[in-house]
Amino acid sequence: MMAQRPDIIVIGGGSAGAACASRLADAGQKVLLVEAGKSDKDIRSRVPALMANIVQTPDFDWCYRAEPDPSVGGRPDVWPAGKRLGGGSAINGMMFIRGHQWDYDHWAELGATGWDYESCLPYFRRMEDNERGPDKWRGTGGPIAVSEIRSRYSVTEDWVSAVQEAGFPRSPDLNGEKAEGVDFIQLSQRSGLRWSAARGYLEKASPNLEIMLEAQVQRIVIENGRATGVKLRHNGQIRTLTARHGVVLSAGALNTPRLLMLSGIGPGDELRKHGIDTVIALPGVGQNLQEHSATHLVNAVDTHTLNDDSRGLSAVKQLLALAVKRSGALTTGIGHAQAFVRSREGLSAPNIQLAFSAFAFDVTEKGNLALRGESSVSTLVGLMRPSSRGSVTLRSGNPDAAPKIEHILLGDEDDVLQLVEGLQIARAVMAQPAIAKDVSGEVRPGEELESAEALSHYVRAATIPMYHPVGTAKIGSKADPMAVVDADLKLYGLEGLWVADASVMPTIPAGNTNATAIMIGDKASDHILKAVKGRDISQAA
Ligand SMILES: Cc1cc2nc3c(=O)[nH]c(=O)nc-3n(C[C@H](O)[C@H](O)[C@H](O)COP(=O)(O)OP(=O)(O)OC[C@H]3O[C@@H](n4cnc5c(N)ncnc54)[C@H](O)[C@@H]3O)c2cc1C
């Protein structure tokens, strides 16, 4: 344990917490980072394709399940959340994408002053070590390695051509000037291995940073209107640790609101229900839960795919390719190429993400995913700006109880319509000459489902969450009663408590959320330094 009392305690060493803790320590703060999970130094986290073995494994994942969702036939969906140093970035699909500039500018319009794209860009740039090199939009030399995919299949090249044949532009860089059009996917990897936020920010962190693993925070300690420390369980003992300046809460969009409520911060009625005294009444805690929804188009193909590389001699070759060249099927992320497209006229920005993979899964009778036995490809059709909103509340006052997640994935008819439009675009792409020559049939939804009505039934049955929960402690102006933190990420009504993770996003950005969460953690450090050292945020980054 740190000999001295730390200046700041950071709760949660995930995507945002790792970035924030490391930057604060670099700036001279004595930081104690407390993480409930173990280290991410584990081959199952490092080898990308082993992701399938760690999601839904309690040693890596909090393994949450939402309440039954009537909009998808009453299915109680799984809501994974990383439980290792690195958090989500230690178990996720590694797709590295920032989202569209419009989303950040929209945040600022909603009251998150200083979170427009121009203000976030220096932090996106400083986090990156981008294999494509630096330019006005991209960074190099930063802690997070961003690499091109190394699991290459000719069918992916064909898909990229087919998207263009279908009328969408080729993007020079979806993380660059414009997040619209088609490109190969970039991954959070270096030399074919996962590059989590823990690897990037914590492995070479300043000696000012101490990390306490397998330390599960039960609540934030509040004295005289100030957060002074945490109560946690470590090695079977309950301990209270204090910090000079305060606490940064980075437990992720599901656990951050849970910890706030366990600490007496949240909607009064909800706290009373569980016998918790209200310290600060903030009705927005746990509300505004947002999530991307996605459905899949699966095709059988006559060309070589990753499904073929998962069996027999080919599988052995892939092991060798990883060991010798750090390439091949075992370096795969969850997608290989992607396109951001508009499914209709009059939108301010693309509303649909198509993520193409040169592989496809079947769902087994037990509900598990299994790679298909034949050559196959899949196109994920993701809805980028869903209207549905859900909530995270307490199941009980027991600090070990899972949060109660209530989310109606397809609560809005127009969300279903947009997914149908996205599916129709994904099908149109597969019909283009560049890829039609590879395709031997449609597995899901199935060619017989043609009408928009039939496709909407399919969407309702087959849509799943994309594992991108955000928004449950949103940034907003003082005039917004549902805002939880101000634009400096300080909790309303309390000194010494900042929230820095995916929960502060006012709305979900158009793209997988890891890069945005890391940006928030990195930028948070400058807001906190402004508070504790009077540093000028406009001069930071
Ligand atoms: C299976 C999966 C696949 C995904 N795929 C992608 C992808 O391909 N690309 C992408 O961009 N995004 C992806 N995401 C989403 C992305 O990883 C998350 O948005 C991001 O990690 C969120 O960062 P965060 O800092 O908000 O929370 P997290 O990274 O979840 O960090 C929270 C941390 O807090 C710790 N913690 C929680 N409660 C406590 C407590 N009481 N005490 C101490 N510590 C605690 C947790 O163990 C965790 O380490 C995926 C997520 C999942 C789960």
Q: State the closest ligand 1 atom to the C-alpha of 18, by its place in the atom list counted from 1.
A: 25
Q: What does the alpha-carbon distance between residue 193 and residue 214 come to, in Å, rounded to a whole number?
A: 24
Q: HEC string of 85-142?
A: CCHHHHCCCCECCCCCHHHHHHHHHCCCCCCCHHHHHHHHHHHEEECCCCCCCCCCCC
Pairwise CA distance, residues 291 & 466, whole Å: 7
**Is residue 334 within 6 Å of ligand 1 at its C-beta?**
yes
Provide the pLDDT for residue 3.
67
Instruction: Give dist(CA 100, CA 347) in Å, integer.
Output: 13
Distance between CA atoms of residues 497 and 10, nearest Å: 10
Q: Has residue 460 got a pLDDT over 80? A: yes
Active-site positions read 468
pLDDT bucket at 468, cuts 50 / 70 / 90? very high
ipTM of the modeled complex: 0.99
Question: Look-up: residue for tokens 């005294």?
Answer: 277
Query: By alpha-carbon position, which residue is closest to atom 18 of ligand 1?
Result: 514
Does the Cβ of 257 fall within 6 Å of ligand 1?
A: no
Ligand 1 atom with least separation from CA of 469: 19
pLDDT per residue as tens digits for the range 394-451 = 999 999 999 999 999 999 999 999 999 999 999 999 999 999 999 999 999 999 999 9
pLDDT more than 90, % of the chain: 95
Per-residue model confidence (pLDDT) at position 418? 98
Q: How far is the CA of 349 from the centre of ligand 1 (A)?
A: 26
Average pLDDT over residues 319-329: 94
What the chain holds in terms of domains, given with CATH numbers, is 1-55+81-145+193-291+470-541 (3.50.50.60), 150-184+293-383+411-462 (3.30.410.40)
Cβ 465 under 6 angstroms from ligand 1: no
Q: Is the CB of 468 under 6 A from ligand 1?
A: yes
3-state helix, strand, coil in the chain (%, to 5): 30, 25, 45
In this structure, how many other beta carbons lie within 10 angstroms of the beta carbon of residue 431?
12
- Report the nearest atom of ligand 1 relative to the CA of 94: 8
Q: How confident is the model at residue 367 (pLDDT cuts 50, 70, 90)?
A: low
Query: Is 341 labeled as ligand-binding?
Result: no
Residue whose CB lies within 8 A of the most ligand 1 atoms, among 213, 512, 516, for a mutation test = 512
The residues, any chain, with a CB within 8 Å of residue 41's CB and separated by 6 or more, are: none
Q: Ligand 1 within 6 A of 211 CB?
A: no
Which of these ranges, 112-116, 145-149, 219-223, 365-369, has the smallest mean pLDDT?
365-369
Which residue lies with its CA nearest to atom 31 of ligand 1? 14
Give yes or no for residue 256 CB within 6 A of ligand 1.
no
